[in-house]
Amino acid sequence: DAKTTQPNSMESNEEEPVHLPCNHSTISGTDYIHWYRQLPSQGPEYVIHGLTSNVNNRMASLAIAEDRKSSTLILHRATLRDAAVYYCIHPSHQGGKLIFGQGTELSVKP
């Protein structure tokens, strides 16, 4: 199964940028990198995904290393509502099944 490595937890101050790292050294050439997050008492929600180029959307940016063995999710201005567990995932080829790791628990201080 796919395998990623993330720090267990990170802290941020409100209104400051947050960089959440992820290592995925076993990623194959065609595997996309997905990020999901789980807010307290909710189901996981999609954040962003990418293959080789850096990606931006309304929620976040994704910076992918040139060798694709690591990536960084960037929240440009953290808010209290961004406190969640963030998962870096690369899906299997079997219908997009997601393999969740432990994720990074992000806490945001006012």
Q: Using CB under 8 A, list all residues that contact another protein.
A: 30-32, 34, 36, 38, 41-46, 49, 51, 87, 91-103
Distance from C-alpha of 82 to C-alpha of 91, rounded to nearest angstrom: 24
Residues in the chain: 110
In whole angstroms, how close is the CB of 41 to another protein at the nearest point? Answer: 8
Q: How far is the CB of 25 from another protein (least distance, A)?
A: 18
Q: Which is nearer to another protein, 21 or 44 (CB)?
A: 44
Closer residue to another protein in complex, CB, 13/46:
46
Q: Which is nearer to another protein, 16 or 45 (CB)?
A: 45
Q: How far is the CB of 99 from another protein (least distance, A)?
A: 7
Please state, in angstroms and rounded to a whole number, the distance separating the CA atoms of residues 95 and 28: 16
Q: Which is nearer to another protein, 30 or 53 (CB)?
A: 30
Report the C-alpha gap between 76 and 35 in whole angstroms. Answer: 15
Please name which of 59, 66, 56, 109 lies closest in space to residue 86, comparing C-alpha atoms. 59
Residues facing 102 on adjacent strands? none
